[in-house]
Structure 1
């Protein structure tokens, strides 16, 4: 997601092979079990590092394996670069530097908030979604792609529309799922970026903008 885009800008891009439309069309004809079996036979080491429950990641791993750029992680950290890892690989194995291992950079700013402030904003945002008739938007959907199907709140809204859960429970579940996602995002950025942090909670909008501009100006003045 957006975190990997930021990492591409700050750390550069890796030698990851491009998608293969012909191979991808062939792989789309196979079941997940068949894809996993093929990957395990083709490259057991790569298969051990991939989330085998995720069809899209298994297919991408097969593309990488077929390209010949499937060397061990100590030589090539393509699993991490391609975003297909199982989440169980350490930074040391993949060669991805953590924030503690790199000097702090002022090329960006990691914006954070106090926990209560952030959770309150998330809860308010979900209430605002329902005031804007988000359930009607979901009812109007005629087709949902595989990526969009994992959108935060969609599963809960579908259960609410189907009459499986009441509105209040739907709202509470979406709020909880969003808070958990925000926590994972913050953990990821703290470990994978080396930006200085700025807590927005004490600041007004204009004060926060001024603080960010000052940090950027200091960085540019040193270049």
Structure 2
């Protein structure tokens, strides 16, 4: 039985050129493109989310673009559940999945799975917040001396989180973390992906150009049409600013300036995220 083709992940900051690179990659490897952008999942915000054009999507098959109504809730876990069978189907047909996007957490869930560490317990945290860090450390040393020795002992939040994990799981956070890191290394040895990087000044210029084109190409109309519909899509950069403009609170020029600034800040956060993903091959454009 022949080995299934491994997915290729194309990652990078907004406006870095992921779409064109993914198309070239798909042409070279006989691939099909799978979306890993949190906002391009939603229909009706193609302009504001910078989704591929109909012309671009006609070149090779595209999957998971515009599949959700704006009012539907989606998170990294749900995305992974949707993407996994799509990728498996592409592989089963002998094609290479080209997974493209800049939503780091969505990609992380897809490539590595969910963290084994439990979510926070509000009641337990409220109880621990009342205790001094020395008392929390004493409890942690009894449950997990290894973690107690390596945690930042002056940071109340770090100590309380480690103790919280021990109490919620009945195990040792150090063992859970070591096991997770070992599995992560094993998974990353099999992953294939690139991180597209541009010079900061060039990226900023591309962001400014895209923001101007977005406003001129129907982004304002998209947001106006979705008034009253709430959901994840509202967190897309530009929605808040365009709503301020529609309400008469800021001018169009101010709206554009705010969107450019917010997008640059987001790109910086994306770069910080992908820099930590050592399995990605850095490509300077």
TM-score by length of 1: 0.52
Question: What's the counterpart of residue 176 of structure 2?
Answer: 76
Number of residue pairs the alignment of both structures matches: 148
Question: What's the counterpart of residue 252 of structure 2?
Answer: 167
Q: RMSD value over aligned CA atoms?
A: 3.9
* 2:242 corresponds to which of 150, 153, 157: 157
* Structure with greater proportional helix content: 1
| Structure 1 runs (4+) greater than 6 angstroms displaced | 103-106
For 1:190, what is the secondary structure of its paired residue? helix
Q: 1:125-150 CA deviation, whole Å, 9 max, x = no partner? A: 11111111211221111333342332
Whether the 8 Å contact between 1:126 and 1:171 is mirrored in structure 2 is: yes
Correspondence 1:79-158 to 2 at 5 A = 107-158=192-243
Alpha-carbon distance in structure 2 between the residues aligned to 1:112 and 1:104: 22
Question: What's the counterpart of residue 194 of structure 1?
Answer: 279
For 2:196, what is the secondary structure of its paired residue? strand
Q: Which has the higher contact order (CA 8 A, sep 6+)?
A: 2
1:4 aligns with 2:84: no
Whether the 8 Å contact between 1:105 and 1:196 is mirrored in structure 2 is: no
Alpha-carbon distance in structure 2 between the residues aligned to 1:117 and 1:48: 39
Alpha-carbon distance in structure 2 between the residues aligned to 1:194 and 1:180: 24
Question: Kindly tell me: are residues 138 and 10 of structure 1, through their superposed partners in 2, closer, same or farther at Cα, counting changes over 3 Å?
Answer: closer
Alpha-carbon distance in structure 2 between the residues aligned to 1:144 and 1:70: 42
Structure 2: segments with no counterpart, 5+ residues:
1-75, 77-102, 130-135, 137-155, 159-163, 183-187
1:166 CA drift (Å): 0.8
1:37 CA drift (Å): 5.5
Whether the 8 Å contact between 1:105 and 1:195 is mirrored in structure 2 is: no
Whether the 8 Å contact between 1:122 and 1:179 is mirrored in structure 2 is: yes
Alpha-carbon distance in structure 2 between the residues aligned to 1:159 and 1:199: 37
